[in-house]
Amino acid sequence: MPSIDLTGKAAVVTGSGRGLGLAYAHALAAHGASVVVNDVDEAVAEQAVKSITAAGGTAVAEVVPVGTTQAAEQLVGRAVEEFGRLDVLVTNAGILRDRVLWKMTDEDFDAVITTHLKGTFTCARAAAVRMREQGEGGTLILVGSPAGQRGNFGQTNYAAAKAGIAAMARTWSMELGRAGITVNAIVPIAATAMTETIPAFAPYVEAMKNGEPLPDFLRKGEGFGTPEDCAALVPFLASEAARSITGQAIGIGGDKVALWSHPQEISAAYADGGWSPETLADAFPTSVGAELQTVGIPAPKFPEA
């Protein structure tokens, strides 16, 4: 079994004061990386740093909301200032402003796109510049979501941002390959402050908080567990063991790890000379439209009472 050793590497994890981001930061530090913890709340960021150092890791806090070029350069600069380099970037920072399309405001849309999509772009750009200057490769880990892969009711802004993040991972894996920089999107599913609000999950999350294990139908069937269950993927992708893995979307949660497919053509039909609306109406239902694709995140399959 290969050893995952990140000693000497420096990482930035955005939005890592709590939840999944904190689990990623802990996992990187536990495997030897020095970590810049990022949050918008100074007290939360400092507490996260204390928890990492108490466990024997190395971490510093940088308090700034991601989205702008200035914030991205500030984060990368802090890693270089403190640790002399940057090897790993995890773009985890995010917010939610859920509303159905006809009720979503410009502010709702812009806030989520700025944090998730533009924040991923600006941070990855700043990291790529630094990693290319170092000339030793690196790792970009972009945090996606099932909503970005499948769509989700009430999440126009969030789903669009996460779909864009998966597309950027594929694009950047090509652009940065020659520099030895791997780029992957991860698709975590875990019990967090957001999923606790889903009524179907609430009793199981509450039981877990009281020390009870999650049942197998959640951990295996739904791939649903704790943030720590998702965290193992991050140091793995940052390690030499994953140097050949790039441009992928990888799901993890509970006891499950999975590879998401890339969008691709699944059926085709042809008409000599091209198509008209009428010939499409005639042929579509029995050719490419015979089995249309589903949308949305499948509802959990709970056992019958």
For 175-193, the pLDDT digits (tens) are 999 999 999 999 999 987 6
pLDDT confidence bin for 303, thresholds 50/70/90? confident
16, 34, 162, 173: the catalytic one is 162
Q: Is residue 268 part of a domain?
A: no
pLDDT surpassing 70 at residue 46: yes
The one-letter code for the residue type at 92 is N
Q: Is residue 186 part of a domain?
A: yes
**β partners of residue 62:** 38
pLDDT surpassing 90 at residue 304: no
158, 173, 204, 239: the catalytic one is 158
Q: Is residue 284 part of a domain?
A: no
Instruction: Tell me the pLDDT of the chain averaged across its residues.
Output: 95
pLDDT confidence bin for 15, thresholds 50/70/90? very high
Any idea which residue has 């996260």 for tokens? 48
CATH code, 237? 3.40.50.720
145, 173, 204, 239: the catalytic one is 145
Structural domain harbouring 103: 10-190+226-259
How far is it, in rounded angstroms, from Cα 285 to Cα 277?
A: 13
How many other CB atoms are found less than 10 A from the CB of residue 302?
14
Q: What is the pLDDT of residue 199?
A: 72
How far is it, in rounded angstroms, from Cα 36 to Cα 123?
A: 13
Indicate the SS3 state at residue 140.
strand
Q: Is residue 80 part of a domain?
A: yes
Q: Which two tokens stand for residue 176?
A: 């940065």
Q: Is residue 95 part of a domain?
A: yes
Q: 119-134 vs 156-175: helix axis angle to the nearest 10?
A: 20
The one-letter code for the residue type at 250 is I
Told to judge if 24 belongs to the known catalytic residues of this protein, a careful annotator would answer no
The one-letter code for the residue type at 46 is E
Phi, psi values for residue 131, rounded to 5°? -65, -40
pLDDT surpassing 80 at residue 211: yes
Phi, psi values for residue 269, rounded to 5°? -140, 160
Told to judge if 145 belongs to the known catalytic residues of this protein, a careful annotator would answer yes
Told to judge if 158 belongs to the known catalytic residues of this protein, a careful annotator would answer yes
Q: Is residue 274 part of a domain?
A: no
pLDDT surpassing 80 at residue 167: yes
pLDDT digits (tens, 9 = 90+) for 101-156: 999 999 999 999 999 999 999 999 999 999 999 999 999 999 999 999 999 999 99
Q: Is this model's pTM higher than 0.85 or not?
A: yes
pLDDT surpassing 70 at residue 194: no
Provide the residue count of the chain. Answer: 305
Q: Is residue 245 part of a domain?
A: yes
pLDDT confidence bin for 160, thresholds 50/70/90? very high
Nearest to 88 by CA among 184, 216, 225, 224: 184
Q: Which two tokens stand for residue 183?
A: 């780029």
How far is it, in rounded angstroms, from Cα 258 to Cα 236?
A: 14
How far is it, in rounded angstroms, from Cα 90 to Cα 11?
A: 8
Q: Is residue 271 part of a domain?
A: no
pLDDT surpassing 90 at residue 230: yes
pLDDT surpassing 70 at residue 17: yes
Q: How many domains does the chain have?
A: 1
Buried b or exposed e, range 195-225, using 16+ CB within 10 angstroms: eeeeeebeebbeebeeeeebeeebbebbbbb
**β partners of residue 91:** 142
The one-letter code for the residue type at 157 is N
